[in-house]
Structure 1
Amino acid sequence: MTALPDWMRPPRAEGWFAEDLDYLPEAPRHTELIDGALVFMMSPQRWWHGHLVTMLTVALMEQAPADVRVGREMTIKLDQRNRPEPDLLVTTADFDGDRTWFAPDEVRLAVEVVSPESAHRDRTVKLHKYAEAGIPHYWRIEDEDGAPIVHVYELDEPTATYVPVGIFRGSLHRPVPFEINLDLHKLAPPHRG
């Protein structure tokens, strides 16, 4: 068995803290912090996943009002021990080229596109953590025979939990976090059969 590289060892007995992610240049891309543990994207990303995230990013950017930005590959510092990286997010923060994370109150929507290796985290762990942090909207996108299905949640603030508001196939029309109209068929890669 190969010894762990030094950078994989937590800097303190309590484990990793959110700010530690900024000082791990050797860590793989898309490294997250969940409950003080580093989570790496180790398996290769599926083409379906990458294509869908890109197409959704473009579609949301085209519809977003001027005071809203759509981002990818950015983490959200939920608290000292949690800094997940959604597949994409919608923020009201001003652009800062040196920024590496957003605070929950700057995020209007977090989107996770479920992969086999992330299914449990996306369906349960992140669902609860984003809600507890106060992020008002969460979308979980699943692959149904090559077509995206979007599970949409809104935050119930008094309970700090998400309420499911719909499962969308084919098209998605939502008035929040801004007016959004999506043809879901156009987001998925063309299906050849």
Structure 2
Amino acid sequence: MTVAVFDHEGPWTEEEYLALGETSQRVELFDGSLHVTPAPTPRHQRISRKLGNILETAAESVGLELLEAVNVRLRPGRVPVPDLVVTAPVDLDDPYIEAADVRLVCEIISPGNAATDNVLKMHYYAAAGIEWYLLVEQTTGTLRLYQKRGRHYVEHQAVKRGGVLNLSAPVRATIHPEDLVP
């Protein structure tokens, strides 16, 4: 039995997407199609909160903002909802953050959604010009920091449990994987 999540026919426009408002699922717009995932697990949310706590202090110290699970407009019709973003100061009442304001985007890889974060979003974030991309692997605790080079990301640093990720840009922060992933 097929159950329609949203009663809609044909490609979604950005206006229709934004008109959905807040939902119990995480809903993203990719070129006319909705990508709907269930709410994150408690493990995912714990990692997000702990990483957010570290990055928020670092961001505020240099006049940047840390935001969680917000719409980021990469281009018209392409609006993902990253787990965390470090941005320039933005209007907190706008329905989305423009990619040009994002300095670092963070995704916590859910086991059932790894391809989206490792391939699709990585490509889209690079194409939108976001310089830094941080991936957190829930199952292993590995942190992978990528920097944009040309049109693609290259791995800048990979850290496993017992190691330390030292961010120097766009914020200064020290992150221990075991502090994030239980």
TM-score, L = length of structure 2: 0.89
The one of 144, 154, 171 aligned to 1:163:
154
Residue identity in the other structure for 2:8: R
Could you tell me whether the CA contact under 8 Å between 1:113 and 1:141 is conserved in 2?
A: yes
Q: Cα distance, 1:181 vs. partner?
A: 1.1
Instruction: Answer with 20-29 or 68-77: which moved more.
Output: 20-29
Unaligned stretches of 5+ residues in structure 1: none
SS in 2 for 1:119: helix
Q: Cα distance, 1:27 vs. partner?
A: 4.3
Structure 1 or 2, whichever has the larger Rg, is 1
1:109 aligns with 2:94: no
Q: How does 1:37-48 map to 2 (within 5 A)?
A: 37-42=33-38, 45-48=40-43
Identity of aligned residues (%): 27
1:9 aligns with 2:8: yes
Q: Cα distance, 1:2 vs. partner?
A: 5.7
TM-score, L = length of structure 1: 0.84
Could you tell me whether the CA contact under 8 Å between 2:111 and 2:139 is conserved in 1?
A: no
Aligned residue pairs, count: 179
Q: How does 1:38-187 map to 2 (within 5 A)?
A: 38-42=34-38, 45-64=40-59, 65-96=61-92, 98-145=93-140, 148-156=141-149, 159-169=150-160, 170-187=163-180
Tell me how far apart the structure 1 counterparts of residues 22 and 156 of structure 2 sit (CA, whole Å). Answer: 40
SS in 2 for 1:89: strand
The one of 27, 30, 53 aligned to 2:26:
30
Unaligned stretches of 5+ residues in structure 2: none
Q: Cα distance, 1:184 vs. partner?
A: 2.2
Could you tell me whether the CA contact under 8 Å between 1:18 and 1:77 is conserved in 2?
A: no
Residue identity in the other structure for 1:179: R
Change (3 A) 1:160 1:81: same
Tell me how far apart the structure 1 counterparts of residues 173 and 152 of structure 2 sit (CA, whole Å). Answer: 23
SS in 2 for 1:117: helix
Change (3 A) 1:69 1:18: same
Tell me how far apart the structure 2 counterparts of residues 56 and 161 of structure 1 sit (CA, whole Å). Answer: 25
Q: Cα distance, 1:3 vs. partner?
A: 6.2
Change (3 A) 1:4 1:30: closer
Q: Cα distance, 1:31 vs. partner?
A: 0.6
Q: Cα distance, 1:84 vs. partner?
A: 0.4
Residue identity in the other structure for 1:120: A
Instruction: Answer with 117-126 or 29-38: which moved more.
Output: 29-38
Residue identity in the other structure for 2:52: T
RMSD (Å) for aligned C-alpha atoms: 2.0
